[in-house]
């Protein structure tokens, strides 16, 4: 158990819909990262938050947004969903920077039908 909790574990929805993925980091970790994993693209970095502030941005679409709340949990919002958004979405946390050990959650499997 990494200590990082992601919900829900599975999500099935239709094109055009909006979903919210939730992540609770390990106790004491200030940084939260979101990654998307698909068979063809591998693990793609989306965005990082540190203590409530956006710290780094990767290949995140404009239809996607995220935030980190004062209690340090984070949510990833995906809107106007397309078939190609179907993927595993991982949250990870670390004390501070990615130079430190990242702990990954078990992921949310999103299926857009």
Partner 1 sequence: TQLLEQSPQFLSIQEGENLTVYCNSSSVFSSLQWYRQEPGEGPVLLVTVVTGGEVKKLKRLTFQFGDARKDSSLHITAAQPGDTGLYLCAGVAYSGAGSYQLTFGKGTKLSVIP
Residues in touch with partner 1 (CB under 8 A): 2, 4, 33, 35, 41-45, 48, 55-56, 58-59, 90, 92, 97-99, 101-107
Other C-beta atoms closer than 10 Å to the C-beta of 112 total: 19
Contact predicate 54/34, CB 8 Å: no
Decide whether 4 or 76 has the Cβ nearer to partner 1.
Answer: 4
Contact predicate 9/19, CB 8 Å: no
Decide whether 29 or 105 has the Cβ nearer to partner 1.
Answer: 105
Q: What's 34-69 look like in SS3?
A: EEEEECCCEEEEEEEEECCEEEEECCCCCCEEEEEC
Decide whether 73 or 79 has the Cβ nearer to partner 1.
Answer: 73
The minimum distance between CB 98 and partner 1, in angstroms, equals: 4
The minimum distance between CB 111 and partner 1, in angstroms, equals: 15
The minimum distance between CB 79 and partner 1, in angstroms, equals: 24
């Amino acid at each position: 158990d990494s200590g990082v909790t992601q919900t829900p574990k599975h999500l099935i929805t239709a094109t055009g819909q909006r979903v919210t993925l939730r992540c609770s980091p390990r106790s004491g970790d200030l940084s939260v990262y979101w990654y998307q994993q698909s068979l063809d693209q591998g693990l793609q970095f989306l965005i990082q938050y540190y203590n409530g502030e956006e710290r780094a941005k990767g290949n995140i679409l404009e239809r996607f947004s995220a935030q980190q709340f004062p209690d340090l949990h984070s949510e990833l919002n995906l809107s106007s969903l397309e078939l190609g958004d179907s993927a595993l979405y991982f949250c990870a946390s670390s004390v501070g920077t990615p130079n430190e050990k990242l702990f990954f959650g078990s992921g949310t499997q999103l299926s857009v039908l």
